[in-house]
Amino acid sequence: MFLNRHKNQLVTKDEALPGRPAPAYSVPDRHTVLGNPLEGPYPEGLEVADFGLGCFWGAERRFWQTPGVWTTLVGYQGGHTTHPTYEEVCTGQTGHTEAVRVVYDPSVVSYDELLKVFWESHDPTQGFRQGNDIGTQYRSAIYTHTPAQATAANTSRASYQQVLTTAGYGDITTEILPSANRPFYAAEGYHQQYLEKNPNGYCGIGGTGVSCPVGVASAE
């Protein structure tokens, strides 16, 4: 019902749905697997990373299964509409992609290691789709919180492009942008830890099978 040109073309700010001043729904307090708060407050020393890699149900599970991750939550990021709903995001008229916020302990898992999970968990060369999931909401994205994250993300993209090209894949289409001015809006409660609540639920996440050299080698 949502097929339109915004499935394969990003909406502009002027074209985007207006949104609302506050969320239209509530979000659960705690992670159903890890037991920690979803939206904070987070303990001192933890850091935040934001990734988009297709349908956020399976993407979130990849990260909550990663040692050193303190909590995860899914949401909408990179668009224009304020406090969107899932139905609005699905129209392609908000500009958001489905994203996973990862709160992690850098003394246990590094940002580079999270990048490796990110790159190897999807095909970052597919543009506005991920497998059978088609639309701008499924685009690959990294929204960085610090200059160090931005440097690491761009370095890892260059390194992974080299091995993907050797393996016969095309250009990486992942957008890497600062999270500032690109708010993360937590998704509805039923989306949070969806595959824990629905073990047989849909998971469209699948990588290329090409190992990412993050932390092993860097692009020349």
As annotated, the active-site residues are 55
Q: Which regions of 3-65 does DSSP assign to beta strands (E)?
A: 47-53
Quick check: 63 and 176 in contact, CB under 8 A?
no
Report which secondary-structure segment, H or E, holds 120.
helix 111-120
Distance separating alpha carbons of residues 134 and 127, to the nearest angstrom? 9
**Cα-based distances in Å from 67 to 2, 32, 44, 53, 124:** 38, 16, 18, 19, 23
How is residue 211 written in tokens? 């190992």
Rounded CA separation 20/175 (Å): 26
Specify which residues 131 forms β-bridges with.
none
- For residues 96 and 79, the answer to whether their CB atoms sit within 8 Å is yes
